[in-house]
Amino acid sequence: MMAASQGRLQDRRPLSIIDIGSNSIRLVVYEGVARSPTVLFNEKMLAGLGRGIVSTGRLDPEAVQRAVGEFRRFRALSDQAGAESLHVIATAAAREAENGMDFIRRAEDILRAKIRVLSGREEAFYSAQGIISGFHRADGIAGDLGGGSLELVDVSGREIGDGITLPLGGLRLQDMAKSSPTAAIKIARTELRRAKLLEAGRGRAFYCVGGTWRNLARLHMNTTGYPLSVMHNYEFDVESSAGFLRDVASGEMDKIKGLDRISKSRRALLPYGATVLQEIIRAMKPSKIIVSALGVREGYLYSLLDEREKLSDPLISAAEELAILRARSVAHARELAEWTGEAFRAFGLEETGDEERYRRAACLLADIGWRAHPEYRGTQSLNIIAHASFIGVDHPGRAFIALANLFRHEGVFDDAVSPEMRALAGPRYVERARILGALLRVVYLFSASMPGVMADLKWRDRPDGGLSLVVPPRHAALMGERPDGRMSQLSKVLGRPMEIVIGEG
């Protein structure tokens, strides 16, 4: 039997999900059922099953043939990837078309799996579960825009409130409007009047789910020159993005910067996605627009977790997994997370709930670049963290975690380092990252990246307002010029006298 790669978590059992949508069909093979799911393999086709369904009432015949042919490949890919189970879900087009069930039966025969055709209520539920899975304490209205329908649902923490399904999917709206932007606005406005739950979303976040909105966000990133090409938790400012949405909704996109980086197959639906989003903003008046990379598939996967796993923090779970895979010692990383919390309290630094989470994640990830050449460990760590598929973290928080690890490797006083990440993080997070980086530079010289020492290092107040790091006599041999030098750097960052002394804590 072939040995499993050490780059994989050995306790995971791969599974596949096929999502049959009105526009796209996607196969995703996951490493396993986990709080922060990792994708082993991802394949899609833009079939367009729902194209023309408004006028014909049936699935597009050419799309059906293409999809049926591709299902054989999807089943084979799932088997080849080692998936132990295959889950298949279908949404608006399959449930609404006259020939939908005939298509489903053909697909079941080929895929050798039962297909779950989701009702509009179920689709909204799993979409909401995806938001709950992907965001730490989400609060707002989630909107999942597919090819055939729009699902809106209220989400607050782990609570799922009112929901509604509207016939405003990109393909359907294009058909109903007969490709007229003006008609699309009238249709969207009329349909959204039925969504009374939008009134409860005023001043809260609106979460965008679905490929059309993700591509709209990608275009916005391109247009604004946004420095981080990570889709999950990307935020639109409602006021500043109004002109952009208006331009896209008009269909006059040729002069929009970065359009060439959006696939041609996706461009045609962008005006309809922009139109629906404009009308949601008009009706709801949200505080901000947040893009989610997680949707119905991930919500379905989240529903398979036990209740204890659902309550765990997805960012911390992902950081621990990466530490297991890449750090010299995950036990040491966990010790860092605890010890730096004690240090911040000793420094008098109060943390919000998110700041505490982000600091813990930064500690868990502090050693993932150790195999790189010493001169590139900081840059490699920053790039891995900045672009990793983490969930449960916003972009400023991601920048903080990345910068803390850059400072830990490369020093804390070079203000020219990574200006894009600094701008994204903001002044408070940059300063906190600098403090954490300087602190890690001190303690790593005592621990040698191995557990068992940190718990013995204690902080003690000095009469002059400074702090002493007290090293017990049994660890006195670890003291020296380099730890003293690093402590001097930490002292400068904090702006208070600090020293390392031998004694009992």
Q: pLDDT tens for residues 314-324?
A: 999 999 999 99
CA of residue 314 relative to chain centroid, distance: 10
Percentage of the residues of the chain whose pLDDT score is greater than 90? 88
Residues 444 and 331 in one domain: yes
Which CATH number covers residue 23?
Answer: 3.30.420.40
In a domain, 306, yes or no: no
Same-domain pairing of 223 and 323: no
Q: Given this model, what pLDDT does residue 3 score?
A: 52
pLDDT on residue 257: 85
Report how far residue 385's alpha carbon sits from residue 261's, in angstroms, rounded to the nearest whole number. Answer: 24
What pTM does this model have? 0.94
List the beta strands (DSSP E) in 229-355: 235-236, 288-291
Tokens 């490797």 appear where?
Answer: 409
Average pLDDT over residues 433-449: 97
Instruction: Give yes or no: residues 219 and 336 share one domain.
Output: no
Q: Which residues pair with 43 in a beta bridge?
A: 27
Report, as an integer, the average pLDDT of 143-163: 94
Determine contact, residues 105/124, Cβ cutoff 8 Å: no
Pairing of strands 15-20, 86-90: parallel
Find the domain containing 481 and state its range. Answer: 314-502
Looking at the 3D structure of the chain, how many domains does it have?
Answer: 3
Residue 53 shares a structural domain with residue 129: no
Residue 249: give its domain's CATH number.
3.30.420.150
Q: What is the mean pLDDT of residues 42-51?
A: 92
Residue linked to tokens 């899609």: 44
Residues 279 and 328 in one domain: no
CB 51 within 8 A of CB 63: yes
**Among the listed ranges 60-64, 150-154, 262-266, which one has the minimum average pLDDT value?**
262-266
Contact predicate 170/269, CB 8 Å: yes
Average pLDDT over all residues of the chain = 94
Tens digits of residue pLDDT in 263-299? 887 888 999 999 999 999 999 999 999 999 999 999 9
The dihedral through the CA atoms of 440, 341, 399, 266 has a sign that is positive
Average the pLDDT over 163-175 and give the result. 94
Q: Is residue 437 part of a domain?
A: yes
Q: What distances in angstroms separate CA 327 from CA 97, 233, 319, one per listed residue?
A: 52, 26, 11
- Residues 100-120, mean pLDDT to the nearest whole number: 95
The answer to whether residue 304 is domain-embedded is: no
Residue 258's pLDDT band (cuts 50, 70, 90)? confident
| Same-domain status, 41 and 166 | no
Query: Which letter, b or e, does each residue of 175-210 get, where b requires 16 or more Cβ atoms within 10 Å of its Cβ?
Result: bbbeeebeebbebbeebbeebebbeebeebbbbbbb
Question: Does residue 307 sit within a domain?
Answer: no
Same domain, 350 and 429: yes
Q: What is the CATH number of the domain that holds 350?
A: 1.10.3210.10
Q: In 10 A of CB 321, how many CB atoms?
A: 19
Contact (Cβ atoms closer than 8 angstroms) between residue 304 and residue 379: no
Mean pLDDT of 128-139: 96
Strand, helix or coil for residue 120: helix
Nearest to 143 by CA among 36, 310, 291: 291
* 402 and 424 both lie in a single domain: yes
281 token code pair: 């903003």
Residue-level pLDDT at 38: 95
Residues 135 and 158 occupy one common structural domain: yes
Strand order in the sheet with 205-209: 159-166, 150-156, 139-145, 205-209, 288-291, 235-236
CA–CA distance, 240 with 383 (Å, rounded to integer)? 28
> pLDDT per residue over 322-337, tens digit each?
999 999 999 999 999 9
Q: In percent, how much of the chain has pLDDT > 70? A: 99
- Residues 108, 151, single domain; the answer is no
Q: Which of 6-10, 43-47, 157-161, 266-270 has the lowest mean pLDDT?
A: 6-10
pLDDT at 2 over 50: no
pLDDT band with cut points at 50, 70 and 90 for residue 365: very high
